[in-house]
Every structure is written in C-alpha cells, then in structure tokens.
Chain A
Amino acid sequence: MAEPLGLFTDTSICIGCKACEVACKEWNQLPGNTPEFRDSFDNTGQLDAQNWRHVKFIERMPDEPVAVGNGHAWLMMSDICKHCTHASCLEVCPTQAIIKTEFNTVFIQQEVCNGCRDCIAACPYGAIGFNADTGTVHKCTMCYDRLQNNLEPACAKACPTQSIQFGKLADLQKKADARLATLQAQGNSEAQLYGRDDKVYGGLGAFFLLMQKPEVYGLPNKQNAVLPSRNNSKSYFGALVTAVIAVFAGMVAFRRDGTSGAVHDGDSASADNG
C-alpha cells in the first residue's frame, strides 16, 4: 500500500468562495442540483450524490445589537467525506462495494453497488447520497483517478486560500499541529483539530481545523463518533432473549395438558396429521 494521503481543511482561512465545490463538480462531471435560495449564502444545502464538497455557512449572529467585542464569528467550512480509517459505511456495506484504496481512502465501486442504501443510514457525516439515475450511491472519491496519476484532488487544487491542503497524511498532521499552535498562541482557545488523531473513527483521511467545538459544524463529537456495529451484539442478544421467552410462552400455550385435545374440544382424533 502506498503512503496514506489525505486532505487537511483549515476552516480558519476558508472564505466561502465555493471554488472547491465548482472544481469538484467540474472534474467529476457532476451536474449538480437545481440551486435553491435559502436564508443563507449556502445554496447547495448538504453533501449528497451531486455535492461531494459542500461549503457550510454557519451564521452565529448574536441576538443583541453588535458592538465591539460581542460579535460572533461567521464560520465557514468546506465539508467532504472524511475517509475514515474505521468507516461506518464500509463496515455495513453488504455487497463489499465500498473499499479502501491503496491511498487509505474510502471508495465506492459503482459497478458493484446495488443501491441498498445501508451506507447512507450508517454514515455519521451524511456524506453519501443516492442517485436515482444510476441507482447507486455516490460520495467524494478524493479524486481517486487523479491520485492514481499523481495529481492532487480538484478541490485542493482550486482552493485559493490553501484552506484545503493535500498531501501525505503524516505531513499534513504536522502542518495542522503547527497551525493549531499558532492560533492558540493568538488567543483562539476553542480552536481544535478534528480527526487528526485516532479518537474519531481511528483518524480521518480528511481532517479539519475547527474554530469551535465539532457540534457547531454538524460533526459528531468523540462521544457520538461511534460505529454502527456497536449495536450488533446488544441487538442480537435482545432478540435472542425475546425468542427464548416467546418459545417458552408458545410451549405453555400450545402444550396439551396430559389429555387429548379431542376429548375437550371435539377435534377429530383422526385429524390430518400432515
């Protein structure tokens, strides 16, 4: 396997220009959804089968009039599939259409997927969407075709502020650590890295520098970043206990109490036994 590659998105320098969204659509030939005018600069809404990059605008405006010192940040974040080391989608996929590539990224094989959509139910980031035209699910590939040709992903290539950086994961992690230290030294005490270490799904191939806690950006925190399989044994055990009780109840209900039912009920003793 090649050395793991990844994307580091520094939200502190994202300007919300959406060049990443456009570049992604252009390279991956995604026609996109019809734009919607919302109460925001966000006209794509969410990650889905057509939006593999989505710039979130998180408008944290104060209720009271803004004065010096009480303004809130207008957060922007270019969201993407996280390419989790321990990926929920890959875990549940029954067809094995979702695989890990040689770059440690998560990839959906379109010719294998049969559109059961279990991965959508599993992905904690809402990064996968169903395309009714192809009958399959889609998400960011981290431009797998470009990686195979030693090119960087289109989003990173297009980002004018270098908010999105591509490279070897180990190198990106060092850059992220340095950037975080700088921000914290400047007084941004809430700045933090998300997915840089293994506490969130074993580490993320696409990780982030956030200016607030993860929930503000619509990302599960460490406590809620859990795999679907956590419920496997508990759920099956619950079903097993129920089955045992139900079989016992059936035995109580159906068992003849030492006498022939025919005597009580007039059932024919020669009833069809088949």
Chain B
Amino acid sequence: MAEHFVQSPQWGWYILGYFFLAGLTGGSYTLATMLRWWGGAGDQRIARLGFLVAFPLVVVCGIFLTVDLGQPLRFWHMMINTTPGDTGLSFKYWSPISLGSWALLVYSGFSFISFLEALGMLGPFSGAFGRLFNFIGSILALFIASYTGVVLSVSNQPVWSDTWALGGLFLASALSGSAALLAWFASSRPDAGSTQWRLLRADGYFALLELVLIVVFFGTLAAAGTLSHALAGPWVFIWILVFASLVAPLMGLGHDRRLSATLSARGGALTASTALIVLAGVFLMRLAIIFSAQS
C-alpha cells in the first residue's frame, strides 16, 4: 500500500481552469483536423470553427498558468535557465511541466496560424503541406490535452501518483467535451445537421473511452489503497455528477443517422443542454481529481 507524507502544492482554481481549457483547445484542434481530413465538404464550416476556438482558448491557458505562478513575471524561466554561470535554454524531457511549457509554446504557434487560416487571412491550407501542418498541430494538441494528467501523476501526491491513467483520462474527457462544444456550435447552423450528428457520435465514443478510463483510474487507486482518499467527503458526489454527465453522450451512440435530420429540425436546445452537461462533467472531473488529492 502506498503511504504519502507530502504537502499540498496548493494548486487551485487557476490550475483547474488551465487543465479544463487546455483540454478544450487541444480537443477542438484535433477534432477540427479530423473533420478536415475525413469529413465532407459540409463539415468544413465546423472544422473552421474548431480552429477558431482553439487559439483564443490557448491564450487564456497561458494567462491562467502565468498568474498561478508565485512570480508571474518569471514565467519565461520555464524555458530559459537563469542560473548564474549556467544560462541557456531549459529543457527537461523528464519533467512534464518543462516539456509541457515547450509544447504549449509550439502549439500556440500552430493554433495561431490555423486561426489565421480559418479567418481567411492566409488562404486555405490544402494539399500535402496543409495535411502535414494539421498533423503536427494535432500531435501537439493531443499532447496539450493529455499531459496535464501526466503532470499530476509525476509527483508524490496521494491519488495523483498512485495511477498511470490520468493522461489518458484527461485526453478522453477533453475530446468528449470538445466534441460536445463543436456539436453545440453546429446546432446553430441549419445546414450542419450531418456534422452535428457525426460530432455527437464521436462524443459517444470518447465518453465510452472516458468511462473505461475512470474505471481503470479507480482500479489503480484501489490497488494502491488510496481510493477512499479520492472519494472522501464531497468528492463522491462530484464523481456521481461526472458519471451522470456521461449518460447523454453514451445514449447518443444508440441513435442512428436519422438523428441528423431530427437535430436539424429541433434546433440547438437539445445539443446546448447536452454540451453544457458534458462540459460540466469535464470540469468537475478535473476539480475532483485536483482538489481531492490536496484535501
């Protein structure tokens, strides 16, 4: 059984906000790329929306990360070593925060260029270059959406360090939330019923993946003897809400393609409520994980 005698790093609301938005920016960029690659002509409007969403979110991510620092004006120390006599770039691949800082910087560049392209300021990215650009951007986006879980695991905190599932869990949850968000946006376009249906179907798959990973997460904690820590006090109720948030996307898996016509006809109310519930689940899951370990 794992025993921990650590202190809390006091990672609070800014970090929670960062983890939430990092998931959404990475998920939106990835889904936009998927729609661009595998979707039809009618899916491209929502793909463009995905790129338009990804960049502003990553800007807010950077702000949250910076203001959480005890010395915000030293944010650049993440990448530049200022040790007297040993100055230069700072890159530690074995430190997830160091790796994540660099990834966030490079991903910001990719999402910015995709943002400009989606605005029509660069002309369409097509052909092999466009595919390669979006491929690299998506690799970075997937990393940004998942590495926050690895940051927690690479520690000695109870709960966080007792599992290897957080990176995957955060990624599945991020993709689920992003699919719900983009489906919500699609609901405002009367001609995007097919795209909306595809996004909801994808959301169902991602929610299923998330459910499996939550089970794995709880299983690893049980093996380490810290499951009770993760579920103590109010946290069990938060987890019940997280499970409840998965019901709607999982039920969507049972719908056939005729749903697209229904969605077009019924407008955005259904998708908006679904999206808000899913996004609340994405937020609450991170809240439960971040705060329960530190309580």
Contacts and interface: CB of A to CB of B under 8 A. Distances in A.
**Is B a genuine binding partner of A?**
yes
Interface of A: 46-48, 88, 91-97, 99, 109, 111-118, 120-126, 128-132, 134-137, 215, 218-221, 224, 226, 228-229, 231-232, 234-239, 241-243, 245-247, 249-256, 260-262, 264-274
B194 A265 contact: yes
A231 B74 contact: no
A97 B40 contact: no
Contacts of A129: 7
Given A92-B155, A130-B10, A250-B38, A242 B146 contact: yes
B42 A265 contact: yes
A231 B7 contact: no
B266 interface: no
Given A92-B97, A95-B90, A114 B198 contact: no
Interface stretch (B53-61, B156-164, B267-275, B279-287): B156-164
A52 to B, nearest CB: 14
A228 B155 contact: yes
4 shortest A-B CB distances, which residue pairs? Answer: A115-B70, A267-B42, A239-B167, A135-B70
Nearest to B203: A253
Nearest to A253: B202
B191 A96 contact: no
A132 B40 contact: no
Contacts of A137: 70
A234 B166 CA distance: 10
Interface in B129-155: 142, 146-147, 149-155
Interface stretch (B116-124, B228-236, B240-248): B116-124
A250 B202 contact: yes
A246 B96 contact: no
Contacts, number: 275
A130 B11 CA distance: 11
Contacts of B10: 117, 120, 130
B45 to A, nearest CB: 6
Contact of B191 (A228, A234, A251, A268): A268
B277 interface: no
B82 interface: yes
Nearest to B139: A243
Interface string B49-88: 0000000000000000000111110110110011100100
A239 B98 CA distance: 18
Interface residues of B, number: 90
B44 A271 contact: yes
A271 B39 contact: no
Contact of A246 (B2, B68, B172): B172
Nearest to A219: B5
A17 to B, nearest CB: 24
B8 interface: yes
A250 B71 contact: no
Contacts of B169: 242
A125 B5 CA distance: 6
A97 B5 CA distance: 23
Nearest to A125: B5
A126 B92 contact: no
A126 B7 CA distance: 5
A95 B193 CA distance: 48
Contacts of B41: 260-262, 267-271, 273
A230 B191 CA distance: 50
Contact of B154 (A112, A229, A271): A229
